[in-house]
């Protein structure tokens, strides 16, 4: 009969536990990366500008801008809207929240020019960067020398990402924050 020492049993169990923890972390990382890829299709707080006579402030960025996991009224764009509504009777301010959880700064930069041209904001507030540490899905320089993937239809080879449009955001809805 072979005797197994207590130290061997403990080592084996610790090895199994480490394997389970490592597998769980890898699974979580894969899930978060897939979520970041799909986030722009499911998370959009605001997408179109309605009132041309108002002063429009565009808020872009990641989950900090979106307000995840908080309710809409606790996001910083909603708090900015409330503060402007309380502080000014005229002009009317309209704060648009285009934050997308899980995106990096290249993702935001690649879509910002088009968002500005389409929505014509008077000011832009950007809060992004935390996801740059782990999300490297969009980091190449685009056709115009900026960081990120080339725009759709650009002559640069590669798999480029599509540019943002209100119609391309499946959950696009215009709601004042």
- For the cut 80, the answer to whether the pLDDT of residue 123 exceeds it is yes
Q: Note the pLDDT tens digit of each residue in 73-101.
A: 999 999 999 999 999 988 999 999 999 99
Which has the minimum average pLDDT: 21-35, 44-58, 65-79?
A: 44-58
CA distance 31 to 50: 36
With CA atoms as reference, report the closest residue to 177 among 89, 36, 49, 90: 49
Q: pLDDT tens across 17-28, in order? A: 888 988 888 877
Structural domain boundaries in the chain? 55-168
Q: Which CATH superfamily is domain 55-168 in?
A: SGNH hydrolase (3.40.50.1110)
More confident residue, 146 or 105: 105
28, β-bridge pairs: none
Residues 6+ apart with CB under 8 A from 82: 73
Q: Is the per-residue pLDDT at 36 higher than 80?
A: no
Q: In what order do the strands lie in the sheet with 93-99?
A: 93-99, 55-61, 123-127
């Amino acid at each position: 009969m072979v005797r197994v020492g207590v130290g061997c049993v403990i080592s084996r169990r610790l090895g199994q536990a480490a394997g389970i923890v490592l597998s769980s972390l890898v699974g979580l990382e894969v899930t978060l990366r897939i979520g970041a890829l799909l986030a722009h299709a499911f998370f959009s707080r605001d997408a179109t500008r309605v009132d041309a006579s108002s002063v429009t402030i565009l808020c872009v960025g990641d989950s900090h801008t979106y307000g995840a996991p908080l309710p809409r009224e606790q996001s910083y764009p909603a708090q900015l809207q409330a503060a402007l509504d309380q502080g000014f009777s005229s002009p009317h301010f309209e704060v648009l929240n285009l934050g997308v959880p899980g995106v990096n700064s290249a993702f935001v930069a690649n879509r910002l020019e088009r968002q500005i041209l389409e929505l014509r904001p008077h000011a832009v507030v950007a809060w992004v960067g935390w996801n740059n540490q782990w999300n490297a899905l969009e980091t190449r320089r685009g056709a115009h020398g900026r960081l990120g993937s080339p725009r759709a239809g650009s002559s640069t080879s590669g798999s480029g990402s599509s540019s943002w449009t209100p119609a391309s955001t499946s959950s696009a809805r215009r709601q004042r924050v």
